[in-house]
Amino acid sequence: MTTGFLRSEFFHNYKRSTSAIVGSGLMLFFAACVLIGPFLVTQNPYDIASLDLMDSYKPPMWLEGGDSRFPLGTDGQGRDVWASILYGARISVFIGLVAMIASCTIGTLLGLIAGFYGGVVDSVIMRIADIQLSFPSILIALFLMSAVGTGVDKVLIALTAVGWVVYARTVRGSTLSEIEKEYVQAAKVAGLPNHKIIRKHVLPNVLTPLIVIATIQVGTFVLIEASLSFLGVGVPITQPSLGLLIKNGFDVLFSGLWWTSVFPGFAIMTLVFGINLFGDFLRDELNPRLK
Amino acid sequence: MFGYLLKRLIQMTLVLWVVSVIVFLMMSFTGDPVFMVVPIDATDSEIAQARRLLGLDQSPLVQYWRFLTSLVQGDFGQSYVFRQPAMTLILERLPATVEMVLVAMVMAVAVAIPLGVYAGANPEGRLSRTIMAGSLLGISLPGFWVGMVLIYLFAVHWGVFPSSGRGDTAELFGLRISLLTWDGWHHIILPAVTLSLGTMAILLRMTRAGMMEVGRQDFMKFARAKGATRHDVLYKHGLKNALIPVVTIFGLQLGDLIAFATITETIFSWPGMGKLLIDSIYRADRPVIVVYLMLVALIFVVINFLVDLVYTLIDPRISLK
């Protein structure tokens, strides 16, 4: 299995693609930060007892007045910016991943149903998708959040509500071409129940294009969540994601305290850039048509 | 042609109707608007009376019907905060937003098309790779963060551009326009650059992909063979054919720019309708949110329609059906 992968064309191309290596490297680095990050820092930014107001607004350590305990400086409560980023990245990545999985599941299901059964169900699902696609995701999410209020769960719902459409469309398209094929016809003639044909035969054959969409979507979701939180309609202040860190930093930017907002932005950029680089590589690999 | 227009008109109305239903449904989740209009120390009977006056004591269906009929009549109600017609508030701020979106769009196109054509014509070149990496970075950056960094560098640190507001405006046909004054230009540069980056990156990538696609086709070889200059081959033969998908994206991007303008306007305190929307969301000023959403929905529907029309102009092979 392993040697098979190491010899595969996919791995061969991977080794030769700088962008794929850099992209996956950034993603891995980020994953490591999210997983073990909190063990790397001594301060828990959520634990008020570990904060000291005497440490507030310390610049990054390489600037005058910096403190080696706080490599990227501190915010107004004496919170270590580096520690806040490590904790905030967890929330951002969690939201991005969970919303992607939810969107993918719901979208794939609706796409399969629409493509397999056709008729009224198909029309209804696809018209909803059409209408939704004519509006920018960020605006729909902003509108939903303004109606339901802040909260991690609500951000997840809003992101899923805008995210399912791409999967439904793609899966419906592939399903339509799959059900014409002989193996599905054969399964029908053999008398398999519909749900079994969908699950065992159609589903595995429509999944490949979703890998690219799902990869890129995590990055898109992290950005949308950050924008919502920046506008104050995303996560609550008790669970500050990277976007909320930037918002908090923005409030003191005009006093010249740039580090509380600039570094969380770099973190988002690193993650999303890594995802997009790797996603581009995946797109080229999995879509032979574009080669 | 006429049949097509009629069909599209019905479709557009239908979309707007669906949007009105969704807006109405979502708005009924956002808490009780009666508390926005009564004073804090209102008695129960006063609250009940206000509720009756607002028609909130009626069934949801009746309420929706009243909502829809007033929408159709162009009556969007009074802002709870400003005590002015919500429509007037939005329309007052519309020019500022449109202005910023247009400047951002022009910037994006002016940079994206030449760079995209270049990167598509020389896919392996070092400069092309740099351009592509830059464009990927462009879609990976949180726009609001870029705006903040620009504010810090250009307004706080170097002090060369103002950090907020719209500056002086001049009047043209009763509209207040910043682009007619030097000070207005001075104020619009930073927000417009912030807003344009994402669109610039996407248009660039689409142009490049389109150019690479047409580059392989016979008419390009033929154009080269007949001795057309490199510029003519790329721009007259190549770009014209590569533009079709770009036009679709262009339409979608115009919508995205209007949406992202809400964020950019918030950062730069740009007095447009996007900032008004965000402020109204904070204050639960329902009528203003409704006007904004319906107006923006109308704009998007019209943009999509225009994009389809433009298609037929650039590509006679596509017919209106």
- In tens, the pLDDT along A206-215 reads 888 899 899 9
The per-residue pLDDT for A291 is 41
Per-residue pLDDT tens digits for B207-235: 898 888 887 778 887 887 887 787 787 77
More confident site: B321 or A291:
B321
What is the pLDDT averaged over residues A180-192? Answer: 89
**Mean pLDDT of the B59-64 span:** 81
B304: nearest CB among A19, A134, A280: A134
Task: Enumerate residues 6+ apart whose C-beta is below 8 A from B184.
Answer: B166, B167, B168, B169, B170, B177, B178
Mean pLDDT of chain B: 84
With CA atoms as reference, report the closest residue to A100 among A280, A221, A226: A221
pLDDT confidence of A41, banded at 50, 70, 90? confident
pLDDT classification of B285: cutoffs 50, 70, 90: confident
| Contact criterion met (CB < 8 Å) for B19 and A269 | no
pLDDT band with cut points at 50, 70 and 90 for residue B25: confident
pTM for the full model? 0.89
Decide which of A41 and A174 is more confident. Answer: A174
Domains of chain A: 19-46+72-290 (1.10.3720.10)
Q: In chain A, what residues touch B163 (CB-CB under 8 Å)?
A: 254
- DSSP secondary-structure letter at B158? S
Closest-CA distance, B173 to chain A, in angstroms, reads 31
Is the pLDDT assigned to residue B318 strictly greater than 80?
no
Chain A residues whose CB is inside 8 A of the B157 CB are 256
Mutate to test the interface with B, among A150, A223, A224, A289 (most CBs of B within 10 A): A223
**Which residue, among A135, A217, A281, would best test binding to B if mutated, counting the most B CBs under 10 Å from its CB?**
A135
Mean pLDDT of A242-270: 89
Chain A residue with the nearest C-alpha to that of B132: A277
How many CA atoms does the CB half-sphere of B256 hold within 13 Å?
22
Residues A50, A78: Cα–Cα separation, whole Å: 9
**Chain B partners within 8 Å of A250 (Cβ):** 148, 267
Q: Over 50: is that where the pLDDT of A290 sits?
A: no
pLDDT band at A289 (very low <50, low <70, confident <90, very high): low
Query: How do residues B125-160 score in pLDDT, each as one tens digit?
Result: 889 889 988 999 988 988 889 999 999 999 888 888
> Contact A269/B163, CB-based, under 8 Å?
no
Residues of B in contact with A219 (CB under 8 A): 140
Instruction: At A46, list the tokens.
Output: 């959520």
Q: What is the DSSP string of chain A?
A: -HHHHHHSHHHHHHHH-HHHHHHHHHHHHHHHHHHHHHHH-S--TT-GGG--GGGTTPPPTTSTT--TT-TT-B-TT--BHHHHHHHHHHHHHHHHHHHHHHHHHHHHHHHHHHHHH-HHHHHHHHHHHHHHHTS-HHHHHHHHHHHH-S-HHHHHHHHHHHHHHHHHHHHHHHHHHHTTSHHHHHHHHTT--HHHIIIIIIHHHH-HHHHHHHHHHHHHHHHHHHHHHHTTSSS-TTS--HHHHHHHHHTTGGGT-THHHHHHHHHHHHHHHHHHHHHHHHHHHH-GGG-
pLDDT at site B212: 85
What is the model's pLDDT at position A223?
A: 95
Instruction: Please judge whether A250 and B263 are an interchain contact, meaning their C-beta atoms are less than 8 angstroms apart.
Output: no
Distance CA A268, CA A242 (A): 7
Interface test with A, best of B140, B149, B199, B206 (most A CBs within 10 A): B140
For residue B300, the chain A residues in CB contact (below 8 A) are: 134-135
Nearest to A139 among B144, B149, B259 (CB): B259
CB B1 within 8 A of CB B9: no
B308 touches chain A (CB under 8 A): no
Distance from CA of A276 to the nearest CA of B (A): 7
- Using CB atoms, pick whichever of A231, A265, A273 lies closest to residue B263: A231
pLDDT cut 90: percent of chain B above it = 21
Res B160: pLDDT: 83
What are φ and ψ of residue B170, in 5° steps? -120, 155
CA A115 from chain centre, in angstroms, equals: 26
Contact B260 A261 (CB under 8 A): no
pLDDT, residue A275, reads: 94
| Mutation choice for B interface testing from A230, A244, A261 by most B CBs within 10 A | A230
CA distance B153 to chain A (A): 10
Nearest to A241 by CA among A258, A257, A224, A225: A225
Greatest CA span in chain B, whole angstroms?
A: 86
Min CA distance, B171 vs chain A (Å)? 31
- Check CB contact under 8 Å for B152 and A139: no
Q: What is the mean pLDDT of residues B288-312?
A: 86
- Alpha helix (H) residue ranges in chain B: 2-27, 34-37, 44-54, 60-72, 86-121, 126-140, 143-150, 182-215, 218-225, 230-232, 240-268, 273-282, 286-314
Write the pLDDT tens digit of every residue in B88-135.
899 889 989 999 999 999 999 999 999 998 998 888 888 988 998 899
Q: Is pLDDT at B265 greater than 90 in this prediction?
A: yes
User: B13 contacts in A (CB within 8 Å)?
Assistant: none
Chain A partners of B278 at a C-beta cutoff of 8 Å? 231
Phi, psi of B172 (to 5 degrees): -140, 120
| Residue B213 contacts A where some CB pair is shorter than 8 Å | no
State how far residue B101 is from chain A, nearest Cα, in angstroms: 15
Minimal-distance CA residue of chain A relative to B138: A273
Say if the Cβ atoms of B140 and A144 lie within 8 Å. no
Task: Out of A19, A136, A223, name the one closest to residue B256 (CB).
Answer: A136
Supply the pLDDT for residue A288: 54
pLDDT over threshold 70, residue A2: no
The answer to whether the Cβ–Cβ distance between B137 and A269 falls below 8 Å is yes
B137 contacts A273? CB cut-off 8 A = yes
Q: Mind listing the pLDDT tens digit for each residue in B36-56? A: 667 777 778 888 887 777 777
Q: With 80 as the cut, is the pLDDT of residue A272 above it?
A: yes
Tell me what pLDDT residue A274 has: 94
CB-CB under 8 Å, B140 with A219: yes
Residue B241 has pLDDT above 70, yes or no: yes
Helix axis angle, A18-40 relative to A259-286, nearest 10°? 140
Min Cα separation A126/chain B (Å): 13
Q: Which of A241-250, A264-273, B311-320 has the lowest mean pLDDT?
A: B311-320
Looking at beta carbons, which residues of chain B come within 8 Å of A148? 29
Enumerate domains of chain B plus CATH numbers: 2-65 (no CATH), 86-314 (1.10.3720.10)
Q: Do B281 and A233 touch (CB under 8 A)?
A: yes
Interchain proximity B263–A265, CB inside 8 Å: no
Q: How confident is the model at residue A219 (pLDDT cuts 50, 70, 90)?
A: very high
- What is residue A59's predicted lDDT score, i.e. its pLDDT? 81
